[in-house]
Amino acid sequence: MRRRMILGAAAGLATAAGAKAQQVQPHHGIPIPSDRMAPLRGEGPVTLTPAQYAQRFVDSPAPAGPPGRWVERAPLPLPRTEMAWAAEWDNKLHVIGGYAEQRVNNNFHHVYDPAANSWVEKARLPRGANHVGVVAHAGRIYAFGGFNNQNRAADDLAFVYDVASDRWDRIAPMPRPRGAGALAVVNGRVHHIGGASNPEAERASVGWHEVYDPQADRWETRKALPGARDHAGVVVHNNLIHIVGGRFNTFEYNTGLHHVYDAGADQWTTRAPLPTPRSGHGLVVYRGRFFAMGGESGVFVNRELTGQVHGQVESYDPVTDSWQHHAPMPTPRHGMGAVTIGDFIYVAGGGPVVGGAIKTAVHEAFTLG
């Protein structure tokens, strides 16, 4: 496969070919090959329109940091989106569930090995769903909840995947159904925070905070997230859980809120908000900072959906409580899988337009090196 190196926001535009592409597609970043996209329904191929490319939004109000660079990596075996983040274990990226092959509740489980720059398929999630919360801990990957319909109809199912045996097992169901929640592990326990729940017609965000004990196969309740929301980013740093960004019920009401949970005190506090409010973004810890990339903001104009597909890369310093921005994504997306492995942030799949109408197999990696 031909590999490309994208150096910062304006890389490649100095060449004649790049200048010509810029004239044909007056938008940030690179065009997406048709064979790396698929429609949610019906057959492909897909070619984005100028209006869809114009949804790309990369401006950031945060001060500039080191730009870093993006590298193209092996694409997903098939276009996917709305997996609800991803999990990393043993230096491999696990992408689970989501929209794929004309279904919104697929159960695919693809695993990427950076050393080989290749993907393999592993045991599939026992049931299909989108916006499944996933997190890895101690050789296992936990998968909680999700939606059976398009971003709606939550369930309470919970599963655990044993990496060594390539096997899923069902565990105690969640106390209440929800999808698009945030999962984090502190002191061996899995915290499930926020998300959206039923009834399907209303699909309201929740601030629920429930904790799963793998040893006892039991759930307990903790102090709720102060700003109920879903599609938020989550990381753990120094045993504190950070919930960053997300949406209140719908992507028309995104937020930059940044809440921090101390499990020992069962208390929430606030920190500096995400400079660019968004939801469906990735959030990872890299070089001691939190990097947020991608996401979407939607709006309906005369009943037609439009909005912005975010390509901003903004990072947070937990020491100074401040943000800065870096080279934006070459291919802005939302609902993708993002993890840190070694000195790279890997960002796979996602939606290149507002909403879930189109899926991609695009896979790019960011580094400050």
Sign of the CA dihedral with 125 first, then 135, 229, and 337 last: negative
Mean pLDDT of 85-89: 94
CA–CA separation, 97 and 82 (whole Å)? 8
Strands 289-293 and 240-244: unpaired
Q: What pLDDT band is residue 19 in, cutting at 50, 70 and 90?
A: very low
Residue 226 and residue 285 in contact, taking contact as beta carbons nearer than 8 Å: no
Strands 182-186 and 167-170: unpaired
CA–CA separation, 231 and 247 (whole Å)? 6
Q: What is the pTM of this model?
A: 0.93
pLDDT tens digits along 222-244: 999 999 999 999 999 999 999 99
pLDDT tens digits along 333-368: 999 999 999 999 999 999 999 999 999 999 999 999
Domains in the chain: boundaries: 5-367
Residue 319 and residue 368 in contact, taking contact as beta carbons nearer than 8 Å: no
Q: How far is CA 213 from CA 17, 74, 163, 174, in A?
A: 55, 36, 19, 12
Q: Around 93, how many Cα atoms within 13 Å sit in the side-chain half-sphere? A: 33
Percent of the chain with pLDDT over 70: 93
Cα dihedral value 31, 37, 38, 44, nearest 10: 70
Mean pLDDT of 172-186: 98
Give residue 258's pLDDT: 98
∠ CA 164-165-166, nearest 5°, is 95
Cis peptide before 77 (omega within 30 of 0): no
Question: Residue 233, class by beta-carbon neighbours within 10 Å (0-12 exposed, 13-18 middle, 19+ buried)?
Answer: buried
The contacts of residue 354 (CB under 8 Å, 6+ apart) are 55, 251, 296, 297, 298, 305, 306, 307, 308, 309, 334
Give residue 26's pLDDT: 55
Fold of 5-367: Neuraminidase (2.120.10)
The contacts of residue 335 (CB under 8 Å, 6+ apart) are 81, 82, 83, 84, 98, 280, 296, 349, 350, 351, 356
Taking the CB of residue 57, how many other CB atoms lie within 10 A of it? Answer: 21
Structure tokens at 211: 């904790």
CA–CA separation, 287 and 265 (whole Å)? 27
Q: How far is CA 182 from CA 112, 135, 187, 262, in A?
A: 22, 9, 17, 15
The contacts of residue 227 (CB under 8 Å, 6+ apart) are 207, 248, 255, 257, 259
CA–CA separation, 348 and 360 (whole Å)? 9
Residue 244 and residue 292 in contact, taking contact as beta carbons nearer than 8 Å: yes
Q: Please give the residue that has the higher pLDDT: either 84 or 277.
A: 277
Cis peptide before 66 (omega within 30 of 0): no
Q: What pLDDT band is residue 162 in, cutting at 50, 70 and 90?
A: very high
